[in-house]
Amino acid sequence: MHRGKKIARRRLLFLFLLLVFTLPGLAPAMDQPVLSKGQTVYVPVYSNVYSGPRAKEFQLAAMVSIRNTDPKESIKIVRADYYDNEGKLVERYFPGGKSLAPLASTHIYIKEYDEKGGPGANFIITWQAKGQVNEPVIEALMLGLKGGQGISFLCPAKVIDTKD
Protein backbone atom coordinates (compact mmCIF):
# COMPACT_ATOMS: atom_id res chain seq x y z
CA MET A 1 0.00 0.00 0.00
CA HIS A 2 2.83 2.37 0.92
CA ARG A 3 4.61 1.63 -2.38
CA GLY A 4 1.42 2.46 -4.34
CA LYS A 5 1.24 5.93 -2.77
CA LYS A 6 4.88 6.55 -3.66
CA ILE A 7 4.28 5.65 -7.31
CA ALA A 8 1.16 7.82 -7.40
CA ARG A 9 3.14 10.79 -6.02
CA ARG A 10 5.88 10.31 -8.62
CA ARG A 11 3.32 10.21 -11.41
CA LEU A 12 1.66 13.34 -10.07
CA LEU A 13 5.03 15.11 -9.82
CA PHE A 14 5.89 14.03 -13.37
CA LEU A 15 2.56 15.38 -14.70
CA PHE A 16 3.01 18.63 -12.80
CA LEU A 17 6.53 19.16 -14.21
CA LEU A 18 5.33 18.23 -17.68
CA LEU A 19 2.60 20.88 -17.47
CA VAL A 20 4.91 23.54 -16.02
CA PHE A 21 7.47 23.12 -18.80
CA THR A 22 5.16 22.57 -21.78
CA LEU A 23 2.22 24.95 -21.25
CA PRO A 24 4.21 28.17 -21.76
CA GLY A 25 5.28 26.90 -25.18
CA LEU A 26 1.67 26.26 -26.12
CA ALA A 27 0.58 29.87 -25.46
CA PRO A 28 -1.07 31.39 -28.52
CA ALA A 29 1.09 33.43 -30.88
CA MET A 30 -1.38 36.29 -30.46
CA ASP A 31 0.26 37.08 -27.13
CA GLN A 32 3.36 38.22 -29.01
CA PRO A 33 3.00 41.70 -30.54
CA VAL A 34 3.24 41.81 -34.32
CA LEU A 35 5.74 44.47 -35.36
CA SER A 36 5.80 46.11 -38.77
CA LYS A 37 6.90 49.26 -40.62
CA GLY A 38 3.63 49.35 -42.53
CA GLN A 39 0.81 47.37 -44.07
CA THR A 40 -2.01 47.57 -46.57
CA VAL A 41 -5.23 46.07 -45.24
CA TYR A 42 -8.62 45.16 -46.69
CA VAL A 43 -11.62 46.08 -44.52
CA PRO A 44 -15.09 44.76 -45.47
CA VAL A 45 -17.91 47.26 -44.93
CA TYR A 46 -21.61 46.45 -45.25
CA SER A 47 -23.95 49.34 -46.21
CA ASN A 48 -26.84 46.93 -45.95
CA VAL A 49 -27.74 43.31 -45.32
CA TYR A 50 -30.74 41.29 -46.39
CA SER A 51 -33.14 39.37 -44.16
CA GLY A 52 -36.30 37.32 -44.26
CA PRO A 53 -37.80 35.17 -47.01
CA ARG A 54 -38.18 38.21 -49.30
CA ALA A 55 -34.59 39.34 -48.75
CA LYS A 56 -35.72 42.66 -47.33
CA GLU A 57 -32.93 45.24 -47.25
CA PHE A 58 -31.77 46.45 -43.83
CA GLN A 59 -29.69 49.66 -43.97
CA LEU A 60 -26.54 49.91 -41.84
CA ALA A 61 -24.25 52.69 -40.71
CA ALA A 62 -20.56 51.82 -40.71
CA MET A 63 -17.63 53.15 -38.75
CA VAL A 64 -14.10 52.17 -39.70
CA SER A 65 -11.85 52.53 -36.67
CA ILE A 66 -8.06 52.85 -36.92
CA ARG A 67 -6.23 52.60 -33.58
CA ASN A 68 -2.51 53.04 -33.10
CA THR A 69 -1.63 50.41 -30.50
CA ASP A 70 2.01 51.44 -30.15
CA PRO A 71 2.66 53.26 -26.84
CA LYS A 72 5.82 55.02 -28.10
CA GLU A 73 5.68 55.64 -31.86
CA SER A 74 3.35 57.44 -34.25
CA ILE A 75 1.98 55.90 -37.43
CA LYS A 76 0.77 57.59 -40.61
CA ILE A 77 -2.38 56.65 -42.51
CA VAL A 78 -1.17 57.01 -46.09
CA ARG A 79 -4.35 55.91 -47.82
CA ALA A 80 -7.95 55.10 -46.89
CA ASP A 81 -9.92 54.42 -50.07
CA TYR A 82 -13.59 53.41 -50.10
CA TYR A 83 -14.68 51.02 -52.87
CA ASP A 84 -18.17 49.95 -53.90
CA ASN A 85 -19.70 46.55 -54.57
CA GLU A 86 -18.17 46.53 -58.08
CA GLY A 87 -14.67 47.47 -56.90
CA LYS A 88 -14.91 51.08 -58.13
CA LEU A 89 -13.42 53.88 -56.04
CA VAL A 90 -16.19 55.82 -54.25
CA GLU A 91 -14.17 58.20 -52.08
CA ARG A 92 -10.65 58.89 -50.82
CA TYR A 93 -10.23 59.76 -47.14
CA PHE A 94 -7.18 61.52 -45.65
CA PRO A 95 -5.83 62.60 -49.09
CA GLY A 96 -2.72 64.22 -47.56
CA GLY A 97 -2.26 61.41 -45.07
CA LYS A 98 -3.10 61.47 -41.37
CA SER A 99 -0.67 61.01 -38.50
CA LEU A 100 -1.76 59.09 -35.40
CA ALA A 101 0.18 59.75 -32.21
CA PRO A 102 0.99 56.85 -29.87
CA LEU A 103 -2.26 55.22 -28.68
CA ALA A 104 -4.36 57.68 -30.74
CA SER A 105 -7.23 56.67 -33.00
CA THR A 106 -9.34 57.99 -35.84
CA HIS A 107 -12.44 56.84 -37.65
CA ILE A 108 -14.39 57.12 -40.88
CA TYR A 109 -18.18 57.20 -40.64
CA ILE A 110 -20.51 56.05 -43.42
CA LYS A 111 -24.10 57.15 -42.78
CA GLU A 112 -26.90 54.60 -42.48
CA TYR A 113 -28.70 55.63 -45.67
CA ASP A 114 -25.56 56.11 -47.77
CA GLU A 115 -25.97 53.37 -50.38
CA LYS A 116 -22.96 54.29 -52.55
CA GLY A 117 -20.92 51.32 -51.38
CA GLY A 118 -23.53 48.58 -51.45
CA PRO A 119 -23.40 45.30 -49.55
CA GLY A 120 -19.94 44.42 -50.88
CA ALA A 121 -18.21 47.72 -50.10
CA ASN A 122 -14.72 47.80 -48.66
CA PHE A 123 -11.81 49.99 -47.67
CA ILE A 124 -8.18 49.60 -48.65
CA ILE A 125 -6.11 51.27 -45.93
CA THR A 126 -2.35 51.71 -46.02
CA TRP A 127 -0.37 52.80 -42.98
CA GLN A 128 3.35 53.23 -42.36
CA ALA A 129 5.81 54.04 -39.60
CA LYS A 130 9.45 55.14 -39.43
CA GLY A 131 10.47 51.95 -37.63
CA GLN A 132 9.00 48.69 -36.39
CA VAL A 133 5.80 49.40 -34.40
CA ASN A 134 2.90 47.42 -32.99
CA GLU A 135 0.29 46.64 -35.62
CA PRO A 136 -2.69 49.02 -35.37
CA VAL A 137 -6.17 47.65 -34.75
CA ILE A 138 -8.26 48.35 -37.84
CA GLU A 139 -11.87 47.17 -37.97
CA ALA A 140 -15.31 48.16 -39.20
CA LEU A 141 -18.34 48.34 -36.93
CA MET A 142 -21.73 48.08 -38.65
CA LEU A 143 -24.88 49.18 -36.83
CA GLY A 144 -28.52 49.40 -37.86
CA LEU A 145 -31.73 50.16 -35.96
CA LYS A 146 -35.27 49.76 -37.25
CA GLY A 147 -38.60 49.45 -35.46
CA GLY A 148 -37.07 48.68 -32.08
CA GLN A 149 -34.80 46.03 -33.60
CA GLY A 150 -31.08 46.42 -33.94
CA ILE A 151 -28.14 44.70 -35.51
CA SER A 152 -24.43 45.29 -35.00
CA PHE A 153 -21.30 43.39 -35.92
CA LEU A 154 -17.55 43.87 -36.38
CA CYS A 155 -15.36 43.05 -39.35
CA PRO A 156 -11.61 42.98 -38.71
CA ALA A 157 -9.11 44.13 -41.33
CA LYS A 158 -7.20 41.53 -43.33
CA VAL A 159 -3.55 42.23 -44.15
CA ILE A 160 -2.96 42.07 -47.93
CA ASP A 161 0.57 43.54 -48.06
CA THR A 162 3.34 44.17 -45.52
CA LYS A 163 6.24 46.61 -45.55
CA ASP A 164 9.09 45.33 -43.39
Specify the pLDDT at position 162. 92
Region 10-26: what's the mean pLDDT? Answer: 62
Quote the pTM value: 0.79
Specify the pLDDT at position 129. 98
- Average pLDDT of the chain, as a whole number: 88
Q: Is residue 25 very low, low, confident or very high in pLDDT (cuts 50, 70, 90)? A: low
Region 97-123: what's the mean pLDDT? Answer: 95
The answer to whether residue 25 is domain-embedded is: no
Rounded CA-CA distance 64/125 in Å is: 10
Residue 78 belongs to domain with CATH number: 2.60.40
The answer to whether residue 52 is domain-embedded is: yes
Q: Is residue 150 very low, low, confident or very high in pLDDT (cuts 50, 70, 90)? A: confident
pLDDT in tens, 50-107: 888 888 888 899 999 999 999 999 999 999 999 999 999 999 999 999 999 999 999 9
Give per-residue burial for 30-66: e unless 16+ CB within 10 Å, then b. Answer: eeeeeebebbbbbbbbbbbbeeeeeeeeebbbbebbb
**Structural domain range at position 60:** 36-163
Specify the pLDDT at position 9. 72
The answer to whether residue 41 is domain-embedded is: yes
Residues 118, 84: contact at Cβ < 8 Å? yes
The answer to whether residue 2 is domain-embedded is: no
**How many folded domains does the chain comprise?**
1
Region 29-48: what's the mean pLDDT? Answer: 87
